[in-house]
Amino acid sequence: MSREILRKCVLTLKEPGLCSRLFPLKGRITGDTRIPMRLSRYFMPILRDDPKEAEIVSHKLMLRAGMVRQEAAGNYSWLPMGFRVLKKIEQIVREEQDRAGALEVLMPTIQPAELWKKSGRYDAYGKEMLRIKDRHDREMLYGPTNEEMITDIFRQGVQSYKDLPRNLYHIQWKFRDEVRPRFGVMRGREFLMKDAYTFDVSREAGQHAYNKMFVSYLRTFARMGLKAVPMRAETGPIGGSDSHEFLVLADTGESGVFFDGDFHAMDWNKVEVDYDDVNAVAKLVESFTSKYAATDEKHDAAEFERRVPAPKRMTGRGIEVGHIFFFGTKYSEPLGCEVQGADGKKVAVQSGSYGIGVSRLVGGIIEASHDDAGIIWPEAVAPFQVGLINLKVGDAASDEACLKIYKALQAKGVDVLFDDKEGGAGGKFAAMDLIGLPWQVIIGPRGLKDGIAEVKNRKTGARENVALDQVVGRFTA
């Protein structure tokens, strides 16, 4: 299509039918975001050597696989491969929040200082808060969290106890000016976080809201292939009465952890419950909280020894990927967040806040799932499901067989990254192992003589010869 026609189409409202004539919408537009990709057209600057600024394995691998690029300390650009993973993780978080009855909103990154002065945290937050002045010299800040703002939003929209309970969340970039950012996206200054806020009329209802989030977190992390152990946590500067951290076990974790070996036997994937069934939810939470699990901050050696038999005393390290708090009225009172009760009297709402470090999870998953060759993506968060390797670009039979499978996978909606670049086999294998797609389909003249492709599982390393016409079926069954 010529530029001229395009411009006409865009600019000329006099011809309303032109656009649809030029761009007939025939069934293909479904909202499906799956995009097949040829490596020859992709942007994936992979590195052979570890960049020297990276210390831990996830940081090294993310840089080597071309997922991110550092712009400043704790501040990253997300390149196509990394961004796909980030989006997949974000979507799982979103789906599980929605399922638990939370409502998605989106608050701005920049907030006015007044709200924070009202809660008393403007001064308390200290230098971690990035403070900005606008052109009118008004004090603003780049939000490190959103309790103040969400409470204000809620207050303005809800007056009656009949409007409770409510749970509002958003997934938004935060900025905390950490003294020492490190470990890549695991401890950045700018980071993507899901934060949810619950509002309830009574202590009991608030507890149920907390429990629902607790369960949704178990499900969220399980879907990403992670076992995140809930541990009783300090409420820290944010304050509140009840709090749990969710930690992914990984040798490189920042916190030392002590926990009951029974957690290893528990099946996170079986976390299934009716969120409206208060007792069932409480019981499920109880089954996780009744076992000993604590970070080094909260660890009580005597209690550990009393409650856990010696062979089951597990110690290790963990990465905090989620943190939930029940506040009671700690924030609602100073901020005047009240509703009118059935008796006509105002009552401060019971609130809680619930965070998941979405961008941190990208690093956390790599920490928990990699080997010497590179990343091993769990299927649910993999940037592509299948890496299709043409071992001999230019060979007519190889080119044809690859293209056929590529298009067939594409037609079936399987995320596929097609390595159609020229190059030796070794480099292709190394690159594909590095970026860690769950499955590799390897096609070259040797196998084609017998009409077969090789299907390799990245995690187990298992290879299998599969007849060419069976390959696509392997990923669509």
Partner RNA sequence: CGGAGUGUAGCGCAGUCUGGUAGCGCACCUGCUUCGGGAGCAGGGGGUCGGAGGUUCGAAUCCUCUCACUCCGACCA
Distance (Å, whole) CA 11 – CA 13: 6
Q: In whole angstroms, how close is the CB of 220 to RNA at the nearest point?
A: 12
Q: How many residues bind RNA (CB under 7 A)?
A: 64
Q: Is there binding between residue 454 and RNA (CB under 7 A)?
A: yes
Residue with tokens 């994936």: 44
Q: Pick the binder of RNA from 36, 74, 225, 318 (CB under 7 A).
A: 74
Q: Which one of the spans 22-30, 150-158, 197-205, 445-453 is the region binding RNA (CB under 7 A)? A: 445-453
Q: Is 359 in the site for RNA (CB under 7 A)?
A: yes
Closest distance between RNA and the C-beta of residue 169, in Å? 14
Name residues contacting RNA, limited to 54-73 (CB under 7 A). Answer: 55, 70, 72-73
- Decide if residue 237 touches RNA (CB under 7 A): yes
Does residue 180 belong to the site contacting RNA (CB under 7 A)? yes
Query: By C-alpha distance, which of 224, 223, 233 is closest to 255?
Result: 233
> Among the candidate windows 1-9, 109-117, 274-282, 353-361, which touches RNA by CB under 7 A?
353-361
**What is the full DSSP assignment across 327-366?**
EETTTTTTTT-EEE-TTS-EEEPEEEEEEEEHHHHHHHHH
Contacting range for RNA; rule: CB under 7 A; set: 45-53, 116-124, 301-309, 468-476: 45-53
| Interface with RNA, residue 394, by CB under 7 A | yes
130-153 burial code (b ≥16 CB/10 A, e <16): beeeeeeeeebbbbbbbbbbbbbe
Q: Which is nearer to RNA, 158 or 391 (CB)?
A: 391
CA 261 – CA 289 distance, rounded (Å): 13
> Helix, strand or coil for residue 69?
strand
List the one residue from 6, 15, 23, 45 that touches RNA (CB under 7 A): 45
Contact 271, 219 (CB under 8 A): yes
**What would the x/- binding string for RNA be over residues 307 to 336, using CB under 7 A?**
-------------xxxx-------------
Asked if 386 touches RNA (CB under 7 A), the answer is no
Query: Which of 160, 457 has the CB closer to RNA?
Result: 457
Work out which of 7, 15, 40, 51 binds RNA, going by CB under 7 A: 51
In angstroms, the Cα distances linking 392 to 43, 448, 455 are 21, 11, 17
Residue 245 near RNA by CB under 7 A: yes
Residue type, 423: G
Question: By three-state DSSP, how is residue 105 classified?
Answer: coil
Secondary structure class of 175 (helix, strand, coil): strand
Decide: is 132 part of the binding site for RNA (CB under 7 A).
no
